[in-house]
Amino acid sequence: MAGLTHLRFREVWVILNLKGLYVESTLTKSKVVKYTKDKDKAKTFKSYEEARMMARTLDSVQAVGHSLKRFFVENTVKTETNKIKEKKQDKIKKELSSFLTDPTPVSENYKVWEGFW
């Protein structure tokens, strides 16, 4: 599921303790774990396995009772294909805007072509 970049939403996992607080950061220099009430500040994991492994680590080091919760967030990952498409679209927009702002009348462009026939 994490590899499907064309989807509009993606699945993320967060860890909660027994009090319902979200894990904000883990295994830093100063603390083993930092909790927050705000869901938006919670540390997200891309896969269930990764989140479960961290929850088990916290259960063994901090306290037993960490659980996982799944959310769906808007997918902001852009693939290389999407980046190439955006570059092509930008190029077309620039060419179109330069064509529309070109002060040369259309009739003059046709005169140039008439000389070749």
In a domain, 2, yes or no: no
In a domain, 1, yes or no: no
Across 47-62, average pLDDT: 93
- 21 plus 68 within the same structural domain: yes
How confident is the model at residue 3, as a pLDDT?
A: 53
Alpha-carbon distance of 74 to 87, in angstroms, equals 22
Q: What is the pLDDT of residue 97?
A: 77
Condensed to tens digits (0 to 9), the pLDDT of residues 59-108 reads 998 889 999 999 988 876 666 677 778 888 888 888 877 766 766 655 55
Query: Does residue 90 share a domain with residue 40?
Result: no
- H or E stretch including 50? helix 48-61
- List Cα–Cα distances, 48 to 70, 95, 105, in angstroms: 9, 46, 62
Please indicate, yes or no, whether residues 70 and 106 belong to a single structural domain of this protein.
Answer: no
Q: Does 91 lie in the same domain as 52? A: no
66 and 90 in a single domain? The answer is: no
Q: Which domain holds residue 60?
A: 9-74
Please give the angle made by the CA atoms of 71, 57 and 5, to the nearest 5 degrees: 35
The whole-model pTM stands at 0.59
